[in-house]
Amino acid sequence: MAKTSHDLVVEAKSKIKEVSVVDAREMIQSGAVVLDVREPGEFENGHVPGAINVPRGLLEFKLAATPELNQPDTPIVVYCKTSGRSALAVATLADMGVTNTVNMGGGYDAWAEAGYPTDKPPAIDYN
């Protein structure tokens, strides 16, 4: 029987480390790289300050070209909207040899709900 997307996320989460937004924030404040794997439009609507945006669908292809993701001693906090795509991303990164990664449980929604700071690029004024 074929696996569903839910099955894949559950399987990924069984193989990776997931941390709370409280722990993720502490890691970020201590110098962890922040990777947002949502789509660019989602990122533009608000993101964790300092986050690098590499959409989940491009991660495998952009990994080598993103120096921040290739520092073995620097932890990486990965998130998406609610933590499904980021769980898959963390599992993929591990398969590609990037092992100092964690998934932020609850994703951006939990981060924003906790009242933590978010960045939103200013609207472009074409006048």
Active site residues: 80
Other CB atoms within a 10 A radius of the CB of residue 94 amount to 16
- From the list 80, 87, 91, the residue with the least C-alpha distance to 36 is 80
The contacts of residue 18 (CB under 8 Å, 6+ apart) are 83, 87, 102, 103, 104, 105
